[in-house]
Structure 1
Amino acid sequence: MGIRRFLVCRDGNVAMIFAVCLLPLLVGIGAAVDYARLADARETMQNSIDATTLALSSEAASLSTSTLQTRALEIFNVNFPSGKVDSIAVSATYTRSNGANVSATATGSVPMTFMNIVGVSSKTVSVSSTSNWSTQHLRVALVLDNSGSMKDSGKMTALKKATKNLLSTLKSAAVEDGDVYVSIIPFNKDVDVGKDKYTETWLNWTDWEADSVNKTTTSTTTCTGRPKKCTTTYDTKINDHSTWTGCVTDRNKDYDVGIEAPVSANTKFYPEQYSDCPAQLTPLTYNWTTLDTAVDAMTPVGATNQTIGLVWGWQSLVSTSPLDAPVKDANIDYLDVVILLTDGVNTKNRWNGNGSSQSSDVDTRTSLACTAAKAAGVSIFTVLVMDGNATLLRDCASSSDQYFKLTSADQIITTFNTIGTKLSKLRIAQ
């Protein structure tokens, strides 16, 4: 009887079952706690690595590979609480392709408390983040009126100061060499491309050689007989091209308002022995000392032809003869800009004008050049100082906020500061 009662008795079964299930239950609850800690650590790490890539975006371009790693770890540690993760490792890379990119990863191990019971002492957590931003490369042509009227009212003095300030701003906007290029195109009736270019094949010497200014006549007198009879012979020779002073005038119409490559006689540039040749132009460069020196060389002299200044400014932005700008990288976004400053009306070009009063024919050529440059994607700023054809300059600008009408020379300085700030903001858009 006692044995039968023992066999059918169920008292204490719950306790035994609980004892058997206790360990898995504890492990399950503990695992939930451990994984909650793991999820919290991962979220905190993700926030920290996101903050790291964002902070690095402002300095990565100027850091070496090893310094970039050091800075990444420093920034991460500032944002990540200590004690949550062991054996943290952070790495970062900076690349330039279709903009700029900073990528960073962080790994570490989170100690397991309850999972350790079943042999899992830690779990690895890994997070990554990428910061992308568009970095435009700037190519800026400063097309600056150097005609005789710029000597009045302190305009040239103000222009030189304003231009150097603008160059300083553009230099600051460049993180690496080549981020910002600048050309300087002083102009009056002509543009000076440099007298050392006299052997270049893109020059057409036809007009220069036909001009009597560029010819030298010598005479020889011979006397014979009694009574003496004397005869004089004259020998006219074209001066050597090396005597050219460097100025070029407008190309043949309609090449005068565009940048077609000078490959035929009809498309080449015409040297002119202009007595009021302006300072020599400076092609695109990021040598800021060279650019400052070019500004110092500017002198106000001669008549006004805004067309030739604008076209050579545009010409300086393209990778073709005669100025051969550096070839653009297909993986980089570029902003081509012309800043045209003038203090008066168009007075003379190769065909029209008297050099002192406004010429509507020259205005027409300027308007055509403006339209063509904008159609090619060039962003044009125009600055009219005190006097000039306001309608022409306003319509030439790419937008209403890129046209400036100044009433005093001192405003050149503040206006160039405004333009410089705007270009700096356009270069980096995060």
Structure 2
Amino acid sequence: MLRKLGTNRSGNFGMMAALMSLPLFGAAALAVDYVNAAGHKASIQNAVDAAVLAAAVSKKTTEAELREIAVSALLGNVTDDVRSDLDVTAFTLNADGQVTMQVNGKLPSTFARIFNLDILNVGVTAQAQRSGGRSIEIAMVLDNTYSMVGQKLADLKSAANALIKTFEDESDLDVKIALVPFSRYVNVGLQYRNESWLQVDPDSSTTKNVCSTYRPVTGKSGCYRETTSGMNDGVPTTGSREVCTSYTYGPEQTVCRDRTTTIKWKGCVGSRDAPQDVSDSRPDRRIPGLMNQSCSAPLLTLTDNFTTIRSAINSMVAQNETYIPAGIMWGWRVLSPQVPFSEGKQYSKDVRKFMIVMTDGSNTLSPTYPLHNGRDGTYADQLMIKACANAKAESIEIFTVGVGVPNASTRQGLATCASKPDNAIAITDSTKLSAAFQDIANQILAVRLTM
């Protein structure tokens, strides 16, 4: 009988199952507790996030004051059973305006007690950036083309001045703003004529005695005014001219007179050959200055002199046609730490760089290198997108504002240029520019979580 009992294998599966159930039950028990802990941690994380944001948006300045605000917000965002087990282990405000908070919480275990784990600890950290922390650099790239004549330009000036007033009122903010008016070309300013990054021919004037032979009109009849029409920067224009059915001419005459030809640089610059036309690299490839070309008011490099910025804004004049990539490239250049300008800080986490591109029109021009005399708007839209992509690769955040832009390709290009969908603003008329610019200012100044 004993021999049979020793060799009997029946019931082995039940014994093994009983033995295996112990670790399986333990693992399941621990899993339940750790799932609860994960949910508990997420709840605490949300409360700590809200706490540092509350401290960051406040107007208080000392670490002690901000800690008091954060702790109050933290305790107000958790339940009674959680509140008693929270411990603020660290709270700091650094020189860059970053508010950091570390919190530990305790969760009583249920099944984990089997393994002598009566308490499960959870720790969370959150950090928010105050608006007055890192340095801010903003390039306003603004359409000064003919289609902006009149009320549009007045609305743009008002919106731009209101935007800089918003930043001027932030007394603890390190902010510099640049202005880049653009049309067919950009005006860099006559003071840069002899810089190494610019290629400008000397001004010149030549006088020659030129003779011409003509027959003067001595009479005409059947005259009337004829209406003429044309396009300027995509805007229909009208005029008139005199047309006569018959003319009477006098005897042939020869007239000689001195004719002076002047070649002068007015500050306008064109594009380098591709692909340098959409790049901020290779400063040895000089930028061409264009002779006898008209362009917008001179650009203004980064400055914190708000009186100077207002003066530059108010000096803008609408003229000529549209080539948006020129504005974008010079908006990038005024933010860049390398030549042609030196006002921009080095690219780093300590400085935030923004470009605001505003236009009311489609690209009516394209480059013919160095001039912008082409009419391939699709090519210009492609260059616009490339220039934006290259600038964004340097961590420049781009906002675009389109005011009734008629061409679908350019509208899509502006949306692509923007760093994120919320940064692309499309409005129907210029009266909404102030609201659009204020929204951009609010986004730039918005307190945000950084950890």
TM over 0.5: yes
CA RMSD after TM alignment = 3.9
Alpha-carbon displacement from aligned partner over 1:76-106 (angstroms, at most 9, x marks no partner):
9xx9xxxxxxxxxxxxx97515x45799xxx
339 and 56 in structure 1: CA distance in 2 versus 1, 3 angstrom threshold: closer
**Separation in structure 1 between the aligned mates of residue 323 and residue 272 of structure 2, nearest angstrom:** 13
**Separation in structure 2 between the aligned mates of residue 329 and residue 345 of structure 1, nearest angstrom:** 31
Whether the 8 Å CA contact 1:261–1:321 is kept in 2: the answer is no
Q: Match for 1:407 among 408, 413, 428?
A: 428
201 and 276 in structure 1: CA distance in 2 versus 1, 3 angstrom threshold: same
| Residues 17-416 of structure 1: pairs in structure 2 closer than 5 A | 58-60=59-61, 96=95, 99-100=97-98, 133-134=128-129, 135-151=133-149, 154-176=151-173, 179-205=174-200, 208=201, 215-219=204-208, 243-263=264-284, 267-328=285-346, 333-351=350-368, 359-388=377-406, 389-416=410-437
CA shift, 1:171, in A, is: 2.1
**Separation in structure 1 between the aligned mates of residue 94 and residue 413 of structure 2, nearest angstrom:** 44
**Separation in structure 2 between the aligned mates of residue 286 and residue 149 of structure 1, nearest angstrom:** 30
58 and 255 in structure 1: CA distance in 2 versus 1, 3 angstrom threshold: same
Aligned residue type for 2:431: D
Whether the 8 Å CA contact 1:101–1:133 is kept in 2: the answer is yes
Whether the 8 Å CA contact 1:305–1:362 is kept in 2: the answer is yes
CA shift, 1:361, in A, is: 2.1
Whether the 8 Å CA contact 1:345–1:357 is kept in 2: the answer is no
CA shift, 1:54, in A, is: 5.5
CA shift, 1:249, in A, is: 1.1
More strand by share: 2
Gaps of 5+ in 2: 1-50, 73-91, 102-125, 211-257
Whether the 8 Å CA contact 2:128–2:448 is kept in 1: the answer is no
400 and 289 in structure 1: CA distance in 2 versus 1, 3 angstrom threshold: same
Alpha-carbon displacement from aligned partner over 1:145-192 (angstroms, at most 9, x marks no partner):
10111115x21111000101111112234514xx11111100011111
CA shift, 1:350, in A, is: 3.7
180 and 310 in structure 1: CA distance in 2 versus 1, 3 angstrom threshold: same
More helix by share: 1
428 and 298 in structure 1: CA distance in 2 versus 1, 3 angstrom threshold: farther
Aligned residue type for 1:186: P
CA shift, 1:218, in A, is: 3.3
User: Match of 2:354, SS?
Assistant: strand
Gaps of 5+ in 1: 1-49, 61-67, 80-92, 104-130, 222-233
Whether the 8 Å CA contact 1:382–1:396 is kept in 2: the answer is yes
Match of 2:442 in 1: 421
Aligned residue type for 2:381: D
Whether the 8 Å CA contact 2:359–2:403 is kept in 1: the answer is yes
Instruction: Give aligned-pair identity as a percent.
Output: 28
**Separation in structure 1 between the aligned mates of residue 443 and residue 293 of structure 2, nearest angstrom:** 38
Whether the 8 Å CA contact 1:247–1:272 is kept in 2: the answer is yes
**Separation in structure 1 between the aligned mates of residue 364 and residue 156 of structure 2, nearest angstrom:** 21
Whether the 8 Å CA contact 2:178–2:303 is kept in 1: the answer is yes
94 and 402 in structure 1: CA distance in 2 versus 1, 3 angstrom threshold: closer
Whether the 8 Å CA contact 1:303–1:355 is kept in 2: the answer is no
327 and 338 in structure 1: CA distance in 2 versus 1, 3 angstrom threshold: closer
Count of residues in correspondence between the two structures: 303
CA shift, 1:334, in A, is: 2.1
333 and 364 in structure 1: CA distance in 2 versus 1, 3 angstrom threshold: same
**Separation in structure 2 between the aligned mates of residue 317 and residue 354 of structure 1, nearest angstrom:** 24
**Separation in structure 2 between the aligned mates of residue 282 and residue 145 of structure 1, nearest angstrom:** 15
